[in-house]
């Protein structure tokens, strides 16, 4: 496995930081971008459309993942993409505009997205060759934990930091980076947007510094391995032939149409609502929103909500291991879909009680985490066979597509229907989740997913 120079290096020195790094840019691109564009005055329709499109790299990464090894080692790709992401996030911080057009910002988000998706491919592959089988089993929980820590940091801590910076710089942010107000009216008109732009700029710079320190750390701490350095490099023609075979065999698997429908429809309520949650939380009450600030959103949704999501996922894994996927699938589908009603309740009441809002968000996110476990295990089951790894990668592409397609139109539907009408539509989508679950559960073996002996 490892060369003699790196043989004694403990996985504790690089696995936790590698997977924290893997998670942070993902949440910057897919979550922080929503908050930034909304705070800078972009309409809900464009926010949802553009932030769905910049998530495209994770949907199509199975298309170029087989080619990564052709050019350089996995370790090389990890280090290069980490340095690239640190640089693009830094550029985002220094070039964030006050208002549209956001062309450069979008380009930088897309570059970060492709680099992050490529990093995912390389890091997950390196994990398999950098550790022996026993170490892989021991550290799988560690890698998942630190990825989730990055989730809390990206969706919670960074959002709170941005909110606190904005409050601390009210009335002065226009003078930063050449943004000099001309009149008092100009300050009143633009101060909110300028404050948000400055706050997010500084927050992204802080995030970039964290990424830079970790990338420099990894230059010396990620070990070199014989298998990675002396890998057998296939030709592009071989890779295309093998991938084409795997891709073709995926679409001839028994039950493919049912599986595709399940992967695309199971999360439909969440897919519509997720892009509109921050706009709903931040919009003024007269616009149908709750009028919350960023710090509250970061604490309620990005921190408490994420912790509840993780707890639901853990409980879901325990449930399937004891009762099997078939018995758990419908309860988990209901758990994932029906709690979306909390946002309809909030839209109808427009409560400002943070405890009430937080409790409802925790309920929804716990249910989603519990229900999403069944989705993951279903994809694992469908991928079984001689090409399991390739087929599971294609399934993750469908998983990303299931979020991307509804996200493209979610904002425009919200603008058309208002928040109450939009969340009513989200609840109607629960019918699709329940219907496809009823159909998909039939061919599943009764004991699939159960631990042996239970």
Query: pLDDT digit string (tens) for 97-122?
Result: 877 778 999 999 999 999 999 998 88
Residues 195 and 294 in one domain: no
Mean pLDDT of 81-110: 91
Chain segment 209-223, per-residue pLDDT in tens: 999 999 999 999 998
What pLDDT, on a 0 to 100 scale, did the predictor assign at position 227? Answer: 62
Comparing 66-70, 295-299, 418-422, which segment has the lowest mean pLDDT?
66-70
254 burial (CB, 10 Å; 0-12 / 13-18 / 19+) is exposed
Residues 348 and 443 in one domain: yes
Residues 75 and 216 in one domain: yes
Distances in Å between the alpha carbon of 2 and those of 75, 132, 139, 152, 169?
A: 12, 10, 17, 33, 51
- Whether 234 shows a pLDDT value over 80: the answer reads no
- Whether 157 shows a pLDDT value over 70: the answer reads yes
Residues 209 and 249 in one domain: no
Mean pLDDT of 335-356: 95
Residues 287 and 397 in one domain: yes
Residue 65 vs residue 361, higher pLDDT: 361
In whole angstroms, give the CA distance from residue 1 to residue 225: 6
CA nearest 86: which of 25, 15, 30, 17?
Answer: 25
Rounded to 10°, the helix 103-130/133-152 angle is 160
Residues 229 and 279 in one domain: no
Mean pLDDT of 269-293: 94
State the pLDDT confidence band at 380, using cuts at 50, 70 and 90.
confident
| CATH number of the domain where residue 383 is located | 1.20.1250.20
Torsion angle in degrees (nearest 10) through CA of 150, 153, 154, 157: 180
What pLDDT, on a 0 to 100 scale, did the predictor assign at position 3? Answer: 45
What pLDDT, on a 0 to 100 scale, did the predictor assign at position 185? Answer: 43
246 close to 70: Cβ distance less than 8 angstroms: no
In whole angstroms, give the CA distance from residue 363 to residue 382: 30
Beta carbons within 10 angstroms of residue 193's beta carbon: 18
Give the pTM. Answer: 0.87
CA nearest 307: which of 158, 143, 138, 155?
Answer: 155
- Whether 5 shows a pLDDT value over 80: the answer reads no
In whole angstroms, give the CA distance from residue 182 to residue 69: 55
The whole-angstrom distance between residue 316's C-alpha and the CA centroid of its chain comes to 19
Mean pLDDT of 326-343: 94
| Domain region containing 83 | 1-233
Number of H helices, E strands in the chain: 22, 0
Single out the residue in 180, 207, 233 at which a domain terminates: 233
Residues 281 and 192 in one domain: no
- Whether 46 shows a pLDDT value over 80: the answer reads yes
Task: Say which residues have a Cβ less than 8 Å from residue 208's Cβ, sequence separation at least 6.
Answer: 86, 87, 89, 90, 92, 93
What pLDDT, on a 0 to 100 scale, did the predictor assign at position 188? Answer: 40
In whole angstroms, give the CA distance from residue 56 to residue 58: 6
Residues 139 and 242 in one domain: no
- Residues pairing with 225 in the sheet: 2
Report the phi/psi class of residue 171: left, alpha or beta, with left for phi > 0 and alpha for psi in -120 to 50.
Answer: left
Average pLDDT, the chain: 87
Residues 313 and 441 in one domain: yes
Total structural domains in the chain? 2
Distances in Å between the alpha carbon of 288 and those of 44, 125, 163, 196?
A: 13, 46, 21, 21
Residues 239 and 224 in one domain: no
Single out the residue in 210, 233, 256 at which a domain terminates: 233
Q: What is the maximal distance between C-alpha atoms in the chain?
A: 75
- Whether 334 shows a pLDDT value over 90: the answer reads yes
Single out the residue in 233, 250, 266 at which a domain terminates: 233
Comparing 159-173, 374-388, 394-408, which segment has the lowest mean pLDDT?
159-173
Task: Say which residues have a Cβ less than 8 Å from residue 7's Cβ, sequence separation at least 6.
Answer: none
Residues 214 and 65 in one domain: yes
Residues 211 and 327 in one domain: no
What pLDDT, on a 0 to 100 scale, did the predictor assign at position 421? Answer: 97
What pLDDT, on a 0 to 100 scale, did the predictor assign at position 189? Answer: 43
């Amino acid at each position: 496995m490892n060369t003699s120079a790196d043989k004694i290096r403990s996985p504790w020195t690089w696995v936790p930081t590698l997977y924290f790094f893997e998670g942070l840019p993902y949440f910057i691109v897919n979550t922080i971008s929503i908050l930034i564009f909304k705070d800078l005055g972009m309409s809900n329709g464009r926010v949802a459309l553009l932030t769905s499109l910049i998530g495209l790299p994770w949907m199509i990464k199975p298309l170029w993942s087989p080619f990564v090894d052709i050019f350089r080692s996995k370790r090389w790709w990890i280090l290069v993409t980490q340095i690239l992401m640190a640089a693009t996030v830094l550029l985002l911080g220094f070039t964030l505009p006050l208002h549209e057009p956001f062309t450069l910002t979008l380009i930088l988000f897309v570059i970060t997205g492709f680099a992050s998706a490529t990093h995912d491919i390389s890091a997950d592959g390196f994990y398999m060759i950098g550790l022996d089988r026993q170490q892989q089993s021991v550290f799988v929980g560690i890698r998942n934990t630190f990825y989730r820590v990055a989730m809390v940091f990206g969706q919670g801590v960074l959002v709170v930091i941005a909110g606190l910076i904005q409050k601390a710089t009210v009335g002065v942010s226009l003078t930063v980076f050449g943004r000099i107000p001309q009149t008092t009216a100009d300050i009143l008109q633009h101060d909110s947007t300028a404050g948000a732009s400055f706050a997010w700029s500084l927050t992204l710079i802080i995030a970039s510094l964290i990424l830079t320190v970790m990338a420099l750390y990894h230059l010396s701490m990620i070990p070199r391995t014989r298998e990675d350095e002396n890998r057998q490099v296939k030709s592009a023609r071989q890779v295309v032939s093998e991938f084409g075979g795997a891709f073709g065999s995926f679409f001839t698997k028994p039950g493919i149409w049912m599986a595709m429908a399940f992967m695309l429809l199971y999360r439909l309520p969440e897919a519509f609502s997720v892009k509109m949650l921050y706009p709903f939380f931040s919009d003024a009450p007269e616009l149908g929103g709750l009028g919350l600030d960023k710090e509250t959103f970061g604490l309620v949704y990005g921190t408490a909500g994420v912790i509840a999501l993780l707890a639901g996922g853990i409980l879901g894994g325990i449930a399937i291991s004891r009762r099997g996927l078939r018995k758990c699938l419908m309860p988990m589908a209901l758990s994932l879909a029906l709690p979306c009603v909390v946002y309809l309740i909030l839209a109808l009441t427009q409560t400002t009680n943070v405890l009430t809002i937080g409790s409802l968000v925790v309920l929804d996110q716990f249910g989603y985490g519990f229900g999403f476990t069944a989705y993951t295990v279903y994809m694992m089951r469908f991928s079984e066979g001689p090409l399991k790894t390739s087929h599971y990668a294609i399934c993750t592409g469908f998983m990303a597509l299931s979020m991307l397609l509804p996200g493209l139109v979610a904002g425009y539907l919200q603008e058309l229907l208002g928040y109450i009408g939009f969340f009513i539509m989200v609840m109607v989508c629960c019918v699709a989740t329940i219907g496809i679950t009823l159909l998909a559960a039939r061919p599943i073996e009764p004991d699939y997913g159960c631990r042996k002996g239970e």
